[in-house]
Structure 1
Amino acid sequence: MKQHYKFGKGIGFLVLVSLLFSACSSDPEPEPGTVIQGIVTVDPELDSTTDYSGIELMIGFSDVQGGISDTLYFARTDTTGAFSGTARTDENGIYPMVVSRNNNQIGIVNLVLAKGDTINLSAVLPSLQESVDIQSVEHNEFQRYERLQRNFSRVVQYINTVGMSRDSVETEIYKWSGLFWDFYEQTDASYAGERSAVTSVSILEGWDNDLMVARSDTLLARYNRLPTDLRVQLTQYYAEEEGLDRSIAFLDQLDGRFETGERQMQIRMEKIELLYDSARTDNAETLLEEFKRTYSDHEAAMQWAENKTYDLATLAPGRAFPEFNFTTTEGETVSNASLEGSAYLLEITRFDNPLYQAQYEQTVVIQQIYSNYGLEIVTIPLATSATALEAFFDERVKLWDVVEPGSFNAEELIEKYNIQQLPTRFLVNDQGTIIKRYAGAEYDTVIQGLQNILTQEQIES
């Protein structure tokens, strides 16, 4: 009988699925910024004055409850609808720009911000999504990359639903990795080129690890750094294949490339996180104290260290997950007690969070596969109205419990679970023990945690 291969254990195909929904951005680069300019007008059937002044365009970092913690770009149109300004970012990547008029949010447009690029944008309100036109070198390159990703996505979907022989899958892996790498070599100076290179390297894991490492070395030589998501993947790869000490040595190697600066600090934070996730809490605490001494004058670093100190005491892997009791949108109670004996993924997010929206299909795939093994999923929505909840699920399938918006104290929840980034998810095993916390794009590694739970359950049974 012919054997077919579908998404299975470990680093296999589901990692490929997770890559399709990655929304990570690259490491910090120095100035200049990104010029954003254009014209936004209003449909004359709604406003015949031809005065288009006061339309506001803003890009900012949101805190976990929806407030703006840092403004990266702000512009206001003149009477003709024209606007111009420069976005200042530490990282190239995809950023949502909010368009408002008369204090009412009209919509959101995602922009590729890359240093030195110029974006020309035009739109007619209120039909922002239908009318918006974006032109820039980086935007056009990223559209090409997205087309390549969509074609790859169709192949992955076919593999998941129909299946292929292992030889056929291997052929597809090499073909698509090559296509992504070719795109990178043609556009290596662009954000899209960097993302394409990361995809090319990432999908090789488990199929050709030597080529994965070789191409990673090429990227390190080209950029003198590794994009964050690829660095995290390689760190985990070395931990799985050669042990935790090898992955620590890998981070030390990267650390040694920078004498000072934000990138070195980020790598040291990742090293502490790695020890924390591996339940080496004593080692993590030692490095954390050293980190505090080194970066005592760095406000953001000290805030991170304070949060991590709390995590080590209360939310570290291996500790019991704190008690909770919520009411779902169906009027049912979900709590530690009701989930006793089941592994579960508890996610805390805002439904208007772009990263959560990008990851949603990945969660659907996870639910469809791992619910067969008893996995439960619970979503806790922050800063969400009943109307926003309804609108979100008008466009998406709802397959798991969602906590009733406003039925809990958001500030207490944020403090209790030390939420610093959205979405944040906790994976808990059937004994109520924390396996791992996933903040933001770290969710791409959740498959490993799920497989560890299944393996442990099989051993115990």
Structure 2
Amino acid sequence: MKNYTLIAALIVLMLAAACSNEPKPLETIVKGTITVSDSIDNSGDYSDIGITIVNRDSVNAPVDTLFHTVTDESGYFSGNVRFPVKNYYILVISRNNNDLANVRVILADNDTLTVNAELPDISENLTLDSREHEAMQTLSRVDRNFQRVSAFVRGGALPDSQIVDEVKKWTSLYWQVYEAHENTMASYIAAEKTAELLNSWDQEEMLNRIDAALPEDYMVAVALNLGKPYIAQSKGFEAASEYLDSLVQISNSESVREFVERDKIQMYFDSSRVREAKNLLDKYEQNYSEKPSSKKWARRIRYDLNYLAPGVTAPEFSFVTMEGDTINNQALKGSTYILEISPLANYEYQNDYDRTLIINEIYKNYGLKIFTIPLDQSEVTVNAFFDERRKAWSVAELGTFDVQQIIQKFNVVQVPTRLLIDKNGVLIRKYERNEFSDVIQGLNRAFREGNSPS
């Protein structure tokens, strides 16, 4: 499964920067024809059908209307739309104050988007024509064929000796999409796919392809997601740090440079280089002192550096489990444990649960304990979660802990949040959301010093 977390975060940061700094907006033409089936309306008057394009930075953010117009009698409409960054936006088709369809459209600077549809069966006859959408259609065709071949490979229809050659072929096909549709969203997604495939068998070539597609903003996130880990593993921490510096130097976007600087601070933090991380954070705060979103991020990471860094004694906590046992720091001295903090209704937590079960089965032989503090508001939700799943470790009883205190002490900004704590009560590391895969590295570190299965 693709990991779009870094890329999504980068787009959000760019949108926030675009709104706060108010740079010159991008602009494109939107036009087309919306008609109505004769079976619904045979008047031939297709006027006053609304076309609206909106932007929403996040689920809880207010909706920003970028464009609105109505069709003339023939159903035709046209206008210019201004927007902050090249991205997907929502186009709403409405009539008589009723929203009839929401369509995801790509807006890119100096492009022309043509929208044609007939009511009421918009999903059946809608067409979107633009340079960006043409490129995305090409990518979709390649991707569908690749998925079909991948299914054959997973089913054992292809001999192992031919798999590498097959992967090589598809890296070339995806790269052809990148070259044929330069500077489109599809081209950079295709370049990312090329890099993902190469990552499995030729990482040096992967790095070459990433470098060839830089410094496009999207590819900086790909470089962080794929290039940086390879460099850190093959050439060491300092080389990875220098790689991040090079990304800052080549980027033409202030928001992207800020994003990379955040990643560098986090990398030093995760590697227990707390003093260096604090020094980098001091510089970051000086550079971005005028931006509210930057100050908010800096406050959050500084709290982690001061109170939740690797090597720091874990904050005090206490709760009673569903079995009636009182759990706190003192009771867990001598044990290595994972403290999970998340609503059980959270999709990512549910998606991780089977992997957590496997980790528990493996490492409980070394003495690992797991405790979950659910942030759900209802016992019904918690009980329903375990009606469908095996409860293999202790879970805190709702009402036996202060939710806000837990959130504040452990600086829970993203869920699931997990903390790995050693037998001396010292934090090995705090993990957030998709960092779950790194937990095993932390566990190996915790148990490698002479510990053996009990």
Give your verdict on TM over 0.5.
yes
Please point out which of 165, 171, 177 is paired with 1:171.
165
- Out of 246, 249, 254, the residue aligned to residue 247 of structure 2 is 254
Matched, 1:233 2:226: yes
Q: 1:47 to 1:306 in 2, by over 3 A?
A: farther
- Aligned twin of 1:60: 56
What TM-score comes out, normalization by structure 2 length?
0.67
Q: Are positions 1:88 and 2:72 aligned together? A: no
With 268-277 and 118-127 compared, the bigger mean Cα shift is at: 118-127
State the alpha-carbon separation in 2 of the partners of residues 47 and 24 from structure 1: 42
Q: Distance in 1 between matches of 2:345 and 2:124?
A: 24
Contact 1:239 1:246 in 2 (8 A): yes
- Corresponding residue to 1:426 among 386, 410, 417: 417
Question: Superposed, which structure 2 residues align to 1:31-430 within 5 Å?
Answer: 32-39=26-33, 52-53=48-49, 56-62=52-58, 66-69=59-62, 71=64, 73-77=66-70, 82=77, 84-90=79-85, 92-97=86-91, 108-123=102-117, 129-159=123-153, 162=156, 167-220=161-214, 223=216, 226-257=219-250, 261-313=254-306, 316=309, 371-374=357-360, 424-429=415-420
CA distance change for structure 1 residues 212 and 260 in 2, over 3 Å: closer, same or farther? closer
Q: Whole-Å Cα distance in 1 between the matches of residues 181 and 342 of structure 2?
A: 36
User: Partner residue of 2:2?
Assistant: 18
CA distance in 2, matches of 1:126, 1:174: 45
User: Whole-Å Cα distance in 1 between the matches of residues 197 and 146 of structure 2?
Assistant: 11
- Counterpart-to-counterpart distance in 1, 2:62 and 2:250: 31
Paired residues of 2:54 and 2:66 also in contact (CA < 8 A): yes
Question: Deviations 1:62-89 (Å, cap 9, x if unpaired)?
Answer: 2xxx433462724253575646441412
Change in CA separation of 1:343 and 1:381 when aligned onto 2, cut-off 3 Å:
closer
* Displacement of 1:203: 2.1
Aligned to 2:385: none
Deviation of 1:142 after TM superposition, in Å, equals 0.8
Q: Are 2:56 and 2:62, in contact at CA under 8 Å, matched by a contact in 1?
A: yes
SS in structure 1 of the partner of residue 26 of structure 2: coil
1:452 alignment partner, one of 441, 446, 454:
441
CA–CA separation in structure 2 for the residues paired with 1:53 and 1:106: 10
Q: Give the Cα separation in 1 of the matches to 2:376 and 2:202.
A: 42
Worse overlay, 73-82 or 294-303: 73-82
Worse overlay, 200-209 or 294-303: 294-303
Q: What's 2:398 paired with?
A: none
Aligned residues: 411
Structure 1 length-normalised TM: 0.66
Using the aligned pairs only, state the percent identity.
Answer: 22
Distance (whole Å) between structure 2 residues aligned to residue 379 and residue 152 of structure 1:
42
For residues 47 and 255 of structure 1, what CA distance do their matches in structure 2 show? 57
Q: Distance in 1 between matches of 2:288 and 2:51?
A: 41
Deviations 1:373-417 (A, max 9, x none): 44999999999xx9xxxxxxxxxxx9899xxxxxx9999998787
- 1:321, 1:434 within 8 Å by CA — same for their partners in 2? no
Q: 1:425 to 1:95 in 2, by over 3 A?
A: farther
Query: Are the counterparts in 2 of residues 61 and 68 from structure 1 also a CA contact under 8 Å?
Result: yes
- Cα distance change, pair 427–182 in 1 and its aligned pair in 2 (3 A): farther
CA deviation map 1:254-303 (0-9, x unaligned): 22335983333222222112112323222212211111112222333223
User: How far apart are the structure 2 equivalents of 1:326 and 1:146?
Assistant: 51
Structure 1 stretch 36-45 or stretch 371-380: which is displaced more? 371-380
AA aligned opposite 1:210: E
Q: After TM superposition, give the deviation of residue 323 of structure 1 in Å.
A: 6.6
How has the CA–CA distance of structure 1 residues 369 and 269 changed in structure 2, closer, same or farther, with 3 Å as cutoff? closer
| Deviation (angstroms), 1:310 | 3.3
Distance 1:175 1:110 in 2: 31
Residues in 1 aligned to 2:342 and 2:411: alpha-carbon distance in whole angstroms: 13
Any idea what SS the aligned residue of 1:33 has?
strand
Q: Which runs of 5+ in 2 are unaligned?
A: 19-23, 329-334, 362-369, 381-387, 392-400
- SS of the equivalent of 1:36 reads strand
Q: How far apart, CA to CA, are the structure 2 residues paired with 1:140 and 1:276? A: 43
- Contact 1:73–1:87 (Cα < 8 Å) also in 2: yes
> Shift of residue 180 of structure 1?
1.2
Taking a change above 3 Å as real, the CA distance of residues 332 and 44 of structure 1, as seen in their structure-2 partners, is farther
- In 2, are the aligned partners of 1:426 and 1:434 still within 8 Å (CA)? no
Which of the two has higher C-alpha Rg?
Answer: 2
Report deviation, 1:167: 3.7
Q: Letter of the 1:172 partner, please give it.
A: E
Residue equivalent to 1:390: none
SS at match of 2:103: strand
